[in-house]
């Protein structure tokens, strides 16, 4: 049996996902960058024994990028499935990460798959694929980035079950760091204290909060013998800001936590 990716649940998200999968319902995961959304999807895919196709959505993502397109090869023109089509054909999980980054006319292609029809019409080949019971559509986004131009249309959002993720509480985040990097409990506690101190600056000097992912990077560097202060600079401070004054202020918080 394939070993499951490391994952520590925050609440009832595992049971909710399993029920959504069982009843062939699409799911929307909301939460800040680096809080474990993608890890959760990969964990559930492994737990359910299904392959997962992950698509990192962006401004230039087209419907053809998801569904597929005709290509020219040595023997002439041939059809190449996109990740969404492959997932439907194979009964896989299709995960669209940061779905609000995609153009709204692109996400409309999801609508027939997110109601009781569960079909994917492919206009260019004349096919209509019926999703097998094993197929599941999952999308995610960071509500902190939402604005009038980059919000999910209500007509799309209301087609999904939804779950909100956040950074773990202090005790759980310590367990995650220990489980991911095998650092000792004292260092894990100190890093979580530091992260929460930096997160308190969110909306004041920082656009993004210090993520659990960045904490894992920091712990990995320190575990490997890198200087703790420099590890915090490289993995926590510099990724959070380009402003020199803000960077210096964050390093002061680091030095208070770790000592000069």
- Read off φ and ψ for residue 50, nearest 5 degrees: -115, 145
Count of the separate structural domains present in the chain: 2
Q: Is the pLDDT of residue 209 over 90?
A: no
Residues 21 and 66 in one domain: yes
Residues 33 and 144 in one domain: yes
Residues 150 and 32 in one domain: yes
Judged on CB neighbours under 10 Å (0-12, 13-18, 19+), 109 is buried
Tokens of 77: 């023109």
Q: Hey, CA dihedral for 102, 106, 111, 114, is it positive or negative? A: negative
Residue 17: beta bridge partners? Answer: none
Q: How far apart are CA 226 and CA 89, in angstroms?
A: 47
Residues 207 and 236 in one domain: yes
**Domain end call among 164, 198, 232:** 164
Give the domain extent around 237.
Answer: 170-258
Task: Read off the CATH number of the domain in which 78 is found.
Answer: 3.40.50.300
CB 177 within 8 A of CB 215: yes
Measured CA angle at 177 (ends 174, 179), to 5 deg: 105
Span of 128-142, 149-163, 179-193 with lowest mean pLDDT: 149-163
β pairing state of 76-81 and 68-73: antiparallel
The per-residue pLDDT for range 76-98, each reduced to its tens digit, is 899 999 999 999 999 999 999 99
Q: How large a percentage of the chain has pLDDT more than 90?
A: 76
**Domain end call among 143, 164, 185:** 164
In a domain, 4, yes or no: no
Prediction pTM value:
0.89
Tokens of 35: 């809080």
Q: Is the pLDDT of residue 26 over 90?
A: yes
Q: Identify the DSSP state of 9.
A: -
Residues 179 and 228 in one domain: yes
């Amino acid at each position: 049996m394939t070993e499951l990716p490391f994952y520590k649940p925050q609440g009832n998200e595992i049971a909710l996902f399993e029920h959504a999968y069982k009843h062939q319902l699409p799911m929307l995961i909301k939460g800040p960058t680096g809080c474990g959304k993608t890890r959760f999807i990969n964990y559930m895919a492994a737990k359910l024994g299904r392959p997962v196709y992950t698509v990192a959505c962006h401004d230039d993502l087209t419907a053809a990028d998801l569904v597929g397109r005709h290509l020219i090869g040595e023997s002439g023109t041939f059809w190449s499935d996109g990740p969404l089509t492959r997932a439907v054909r194979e009964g896989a999980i299709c995960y669209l990460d940061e779905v609000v980054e995609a153009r709204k006319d692109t996400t409309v292609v999801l609508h027939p798959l997110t109601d009781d029809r569960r079909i994917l019409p492919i206009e260019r080949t004349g096919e209509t694929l019926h999703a097998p019971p094993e197929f599941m559509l999952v999308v995610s986004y960071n509500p902190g980035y939402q604005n009038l131009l980059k919000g999910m249309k209500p007509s799309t959002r209301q087609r999904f079950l939804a779950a909100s993720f956040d950074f773990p509480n202090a005790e759980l985040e310590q367990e995650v760091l220990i489980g991911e990097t095998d650092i000792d409990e004292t260092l894990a506690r100190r890093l979580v204290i530091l992260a929460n101190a930096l997160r308190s600056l969110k909306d004041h000097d920082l656009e993004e909060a210090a993520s659990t992912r960045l904490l894992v990077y920091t712990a990995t560097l320190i575990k490997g013998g890198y200087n703790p202060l420099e590890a915090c600079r490289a993995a926590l401070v510099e990724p959070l800001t380009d402003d020199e004054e803000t960077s210096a202020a964050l390093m002061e918080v680091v030095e208070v936590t770790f000592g000069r």
